[in-house]
């Protein structure tokens, strides 16, 4: 990951630790979670970060009824 993606990753992890019931779509995370921290980010950067966090077991992706996937904290952390 590049420096910007590392920053995005830290913000997402901090956010879900502070708000363990939070869950949102890729668009929602990009628009709301990162916007609250005044971070300009692209959906592509956030997607890369989310995939990495899934592989690391930090977050999980839920796909419900063919809608956009929802991302949430993995209960193991």
The pLDDT of residue 67? 86
Each residue of 8-54: pLDDT tens digit? 999 999 999 999 999 999 999 998 888 766 666 788 999 999 999 99
pLDDT confidence of residue 29: 94
* CATH number of residue 64's parent domain: 1.10.10.10
pLDDT band at 56 (very low <50, low <70, confident <90, very high): very high
Q: How confident is the model at residue 34, as a pLDDT?
A: 84
Instruction: Give the containing element (helix H, strand E) for 24.
Output: strand 23-24
Structure tokens given for 21: 């019931």
d(CA 50, CA 63): 14
Of 43, 63, 18, 38, nearest in space to 71 by CA:
63
pLDDT in the model for residue 52? 97
Helix (H) or strand (E) holding 44: helix 43-55
Please give the pLDDT value at position 37. Answer: 62
Model pTM score: 0.87
How many separate domains does the chain show?
1
Domain that holds residue 39: 3-73
């Amino acid at each position: 990951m590049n420096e910007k993606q590392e920053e995005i990753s830290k913000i997402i992890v901090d956010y879900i630790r502070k708000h363990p019931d939070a869950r949102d779509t890729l668009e929602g995370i990009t628009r709301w979670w990162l916007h609250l921290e005044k971070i300009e980010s692209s959906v592509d950067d956030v997607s890369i970060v989310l995939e990495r966090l899934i592989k690391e077991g930090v977050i999980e992706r839920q796909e419900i009824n063919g809608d956009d996937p929802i991302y949430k904290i993995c209960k193991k952390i």
